[in-house]
Amino acid sequence: MTTVRELELLRAFAGFADTLVAEYDVVDLMQRLVDTCRDLLEVTASGVLLADETGELDLLASTSEASRLVEVFQLSAYSGPCIESFATGRIVSLPDVALAPPRWEQFRAKALDQGFHSIIAIPLRLRETTIGTLNLLRETPGELPEDDLVAAQAFADVATIGILHQRTLHESETIRDQLQTALNSRIVIEQAKGVIAQLHKVGINEAFTIIRSYARSHQQGITAVATAIVDRTLVLPPAPLGSGKPTG
């Protein structure tokens, strides 16, 4: 029988799925995700750390912007479970912050001072690429319950997909722009071929040969030469006899 909590989790994942198929703001999506972790899992606070271009972790979203929480995440991003999870690509659980290793001393002191006694960091990972971490803080020591860990891993996967999908969309937009630029260039070249064909009474193939030969001999791009021809700022001489392919 489905419990209320399980139903809430199902609704949450359905909501994220709906978001991912529409246009969305990645920060807003991450904010919803960390809030959902706090509300539905046995955690006190949650945050997503994302690697920048240099590989350093920065806080992307957290359940609170209060300095006490932000500082804990920032310290863990430099020396704590979060950076270790990011570096290794594995889940790092610290069920008792008081027993943190000496290398995490600053994180341990700050976390305990702010009332956090356990933390688990889950990598945002797609195959061999780790882009950040989902981090769950608790006011009580102890391991995260197994069913919560399963749900948290699923939330981390949603975060990974959401962030990488946004990047892919951006890259796709760039690719689309490049393709459109190429298509626009092709239109100009077709127009220039028509001008040359009419001016020199040659076939389209030879007209293109004339344009291409001029571009190469003058170390210019074909599109730039074609644009100048269409704008009537450049008039090309006909190609010497025998220099072009047979006209069709």
Domains of the chain: 4-170 (3.30.450.40), 178-248 (1.10.10.10)
Mean pLDDT of 85-93: 96
- Spatial contact of 59 and 49, defined as CB atoms under 8 Å apart: yes
**90-115 pLDDT per residue, tens:** 999 999 999 999 999 999 999 999 99
Given a cut of 50, whether residue 18 has pLDDT beyond it is yes
Mean pLDDT of 17-45: 85
Mean pLDDT of 191-206: 90
pLDDT category of residue 248 using cuts at 50, 70 and 90? very low
pTM of the model: 0.68
> Which two structure tokens, joined as six digits, stand for 125?
């990972």
Q: Where are the alpha helices (DSSP H) in the chain?
A: 4-20, 26-40, 67-79, 81-88, 105-113, 146-200, 204-217, 222-230
